[in-house]
Structure 1
């Protein structure tokens, strides 16, 4: 009876996750080595495939927005958006970026500044700074968001316009047919659940490490496993409390809080930091990003060798693809009533623009201090990447307050991401229900926290992170199939032309 209640997707995915975590806890080094070897092979052998696929997703999204299909609503023709624009963007921002942007906003530009993307560029120079900002913009721009857009658009279209369930497998109905075919559907949905659980658990672990790093710098609290386990427990209580309030309260309010805190922090650093330098950096970075978009989108190094592109660009695309079931399903859920054009322009433009300005403000400030003030933030980041943001704050006024607000922002981002993930995992394992059972969401929330705790305690975080990305390769194929499936469905839409009004006779 219990098996039938939850279904095969829940049982297979949860048991698989449990076994992987068990192996990671018992033999973390062996697990990390095997997972790393698999990931290294897939990124080496199929790196070209990731690059071509993500560029295709960008072009596909733009084509949909600016053709007649852009007028189609994710819902009935008379439906309208559930959430205000600010709340909607806050939800997109929280689910899509989570703690990643806060973590990498300083860490990525300074990493590229210390180790440039191109061997012809000398590290810690003005050219290295410009190249670092160009690639940071590229990695946080429209490319990764095109992946989320594809999944969200497909799920939103079939769920709200075609009145189907909200499962990944349902988006392939025009290809595989609307009949059961469980032997095709179930593996796709199971893969989506596993990728989501692994990805969110890894993000929780990353955020917990950064919170611990911030507490260590600000309050001198030890940076160790015991403190991290306490943070996991507190985080679990907070996001389970949030998940019991539902989508229209907990996640909605936290998303607004996230966006508000992010805006306050950004404006403070922008005003009290090197303002003109930030504006110049943003403008030049945007120009470098746009003018070099095709080159960076298809850049590989078959002639000179090296692993930089694989370690950064291909890693980012694989990470975005592995996360796409969760982020896509969530942004679909909060986008009912919007047209495809509104959806694409909103998802593909606004969050990336916020991200690029964030990188320009925080990363640009750190670069300015190293280039012109004689600081050594890049070396500090190279030694301990979790200290990047807080090391930069040490050069600004009100360091203590900034650090506290940032720790709070990281915490609320983690709560929102975990809360959103429990909601989506509940949907994925309850046949696409728009209102998954609370008990099911609590199970997934507890399981994710347990995974993060085990990994932090056993030092297996990196291994499981890499393992979660292995699912990106088959999912890339699924995403391409989803594009074709969505296009076939849209071709059947009926567009009624309004008759032209005849001019009034004088």
Structure 2
């Protein structure tokens, strides 16, 4: 692929920039019209394609499990003797921080409590503990295997193309087994452009959620009077500057250091809540919720709320469809990033690391934060759930965490840690995303130009501001759902391309192994036959023949000697 001035790939850089510029101008310049337009688009997508999101995500889960358990598991994502580039701890921390960091802090206590207290999902009924268990199982569905399986699909395809086949770090090369050399032309440009736009929208959604919670935390600590648009915009600007500084430093320094720091800080925060709260209850609830999740995971996976009418469709769009769209829109970014840091892993190691470990930790996170909220509402003083104008139960998602830790010892300190935690998650999401977008816009260059890293970090902040001004959380959700639809089709193609590539290599490996086995067998057989024939000859003729030869040679030499005399 030919690059233009400044190290960019014009066929991806300029179309992506134009599309995002139009979106920013429209949402920031005409917020009310944008809000209506986005709402109409969301209604059409959820109403017409909600079932499709359910099916396609189920396919991604099945594909990820198949790849990890199949005969392809021993194939190395790199050269055969190559060792992993990063250690287990650094690899996991970067993967986890990039994967869903901000969302875990934002929704950790809020989502389980929302499902429990407001009875928001049609058909989710019960009393107290029973309803709490159903709520937690639903949360596990949204944040567990399904989310990380989406990342496996993209990450595995790219890791194989980049590290095994030596291709550039670009989405298009994951589809080379299907399209061949056409990925070098306009087909590849379209694929990468969709990936760039989707990635920026997905990151902007996360940044919007994060800045809402940061602002609420600052108000909770008394540093500001209220959460205003100016506070939200100011927070995005400040943290985007920090993220820009991190992305400029590269993966091995700023991004790696922040990811490791954030994982440690998150572990400290989680452990503090576990020890200061109802510890034994939370541990029992964690184990029990895992059992309830596995008991219900299949019907929840394929649930479309078909018999719940308009209320069910609204719920599906606001929650499950939003999450599937959010994770898919994040998949190009997370996929490229975890592929970039997974050199030297086998297919089985990659799937296990990306699918199992983060899911287990995520379940623990929600069990501790959500379980603490359940315990307070069921067995404690309550107070986390308010009422709306009509007197119905309601809560502010961005405020729940701070209200929860306020009731614990050292609540002010924990609130401060939460703000720092979500801020660093904010930075790591933005810097990692900026690096990946820049790699795509630079034709897959793993070390893209510094100036374009700064540019894309700034664009992500501007898009987040635009979506917030256009309608807050609803606009952010819609942006994720819209951009995920075209990229989901690319992901389906990735599944086929990955299978085709791994199957071809496995077949070649089996043929090579059989050929080597035949050669070794032939060598062993020939050696054995030779030794056996030699042994038989010696056994039957060896000693008599030797004596007879010596006797005749001796007589012949004696006759020659007599003649010479």
Given the two structures, how large is their TM-score scaled by the length of structure 2?
A: 0.85
| Cα pair distance change 1:303/1:5, threshold 3 Å | closer
Q: Does 1:145 align with 2:152?
A: no
**1:75, 1:285 → 2: CA distance?**
38
Matched with 1:239 is 243
Does 1:23 pair with 2:26? yes
How far apart are 1:460 and its partner, in Å? Answer: 5.5
Q: Which residue of 2 aligns with 1:364?
A: 371
Q: 1:326 aligns with which of 320, 325, 333?
A: 333
Distance 2:329 2:138 in 1: 21
Q: CA deviation at 1:453?
A: 3.4
Give the aligned partner of residue 340 of structure 1. Answer: 347
Whole-angstrom CA distance in 2 between matches of 1:73 and 1:471? 32
Shift of 1:98: 2.2
Aligned to 1:377: 384
Q: In structure 2, what is the Cα distance between the partners aligned to 1:107 and 1:124?
A: 19
Q: 1:83 aligns with which of 67, 83, 86?
A: 86
Point out where structure 2 has 5 or more consecutive residues left out of the alignment. 388-392, 525-565
Pick aligned residue for 1:101 from 89, 101, 104 = 104
State how far apart, in whole Å, the 1-side matches of 2:307 and 2:470 are.
39
| Other structure's SS at 2:425 match | helix
- 2:200 pairs with 1:188: no
Distance change in 2, residues 1:433/1:4 (3 Å): closer
For residue 491 of structure 1, the aligned residue among 500, 503, 513 is 503
Q: Secondary structure at the match of 1:332?
A: helix
Tell me what 1:274 maps to. 278
Name the counterpart of 1:407.
419
Task: Tell me the distance in 2 between the aligned counterparts of 1:342 and 1:404.
Answer: 36
Asked if structure 2 preserves the Cα contact closer than 8 Å seen for 1:113 and 1:123, the reply is no
SS at match of 1:336: coil
Structure 1 residues 118 and 468, CA, compared in 2 at 3 Å: closer, same or farther? Answer: closer
Query: 1:322·1:475 contact (CA, 8 Å) conserved in 2?
Result: yes
What are the superposed Cα offsets for residues 26-53 of structure 1, whole Å, 9 maximum, x if unpaired? Answer: 2212212222222222222222221121
Change (3 A) 1:119 1:15: closer
Q: Is the 8 A contact 2:208 2:476 kept in 1?
A: no
Unmatched 5+ stretches in structure 1: none
- The alignment of Structure 1 onto Structure 2 pairs a total of residues equal to 502
* Contact 2:11–2:186 (Cα < 8 Å) also in 1: no
Alignment of 1:308-319 (within 5 A): 308-319=315-326
Contact 2:322–2:478, Cα closer than 8 Å, also in 1 = no
The aligned counterpart of 1:480 is: 492
Does the aligned pair in 2 maintain the 1:32–1:460 contact within 8 Å? no
Q: Which moved more, 1:61-70 or 1:209-218?
A: 61-70
Quick one: structure 1 residues 50 and 420, their matched pair in 2 at CA, closer, same or farther if it must change by over 3 Å?
Answer: same
Which has the larger displacement, 421-430 or 5-14? Answer: 5-14
Aligned ranges for residues 278-317 of structure 1 at < 5 Å? 278-305=282-309, 306-307=312-313, 308-317=315-324
Q: Which residue of 1 aligns with 2:479?
A: 467
| Structure 1 position 463, deviation (Å) | 2.4
**Alignment TM-score, normalising by the size of structure 1:** 0.94
Indicate the RMSD between aligned Cα atoms, in angstroms. 2.1
Please identify, of 45-54 and 84-93, the stretch whose mean Cα deviation from structure 2 is larger.
45-54
- Please tell me whether the aligned partners of residues 242 and 419 of structure 1 are also in contact (alpha carbons under 8 angstroms): yes
Q: In 2, distance between residues paired with 1:95 and 1:483?
A: 22
Higher Cα Rg, which structure: 2
Call closer, same or farther: CA 1:181–1:438 in 2, change over 3 Å. closer
Superposition deviation, residue 81 in structure 1: 0.8
* Residue in 1 that maps onto 2:462: 450
Q: Is the 8 A contact 1:72 1:339 kept in 2?
A: yes
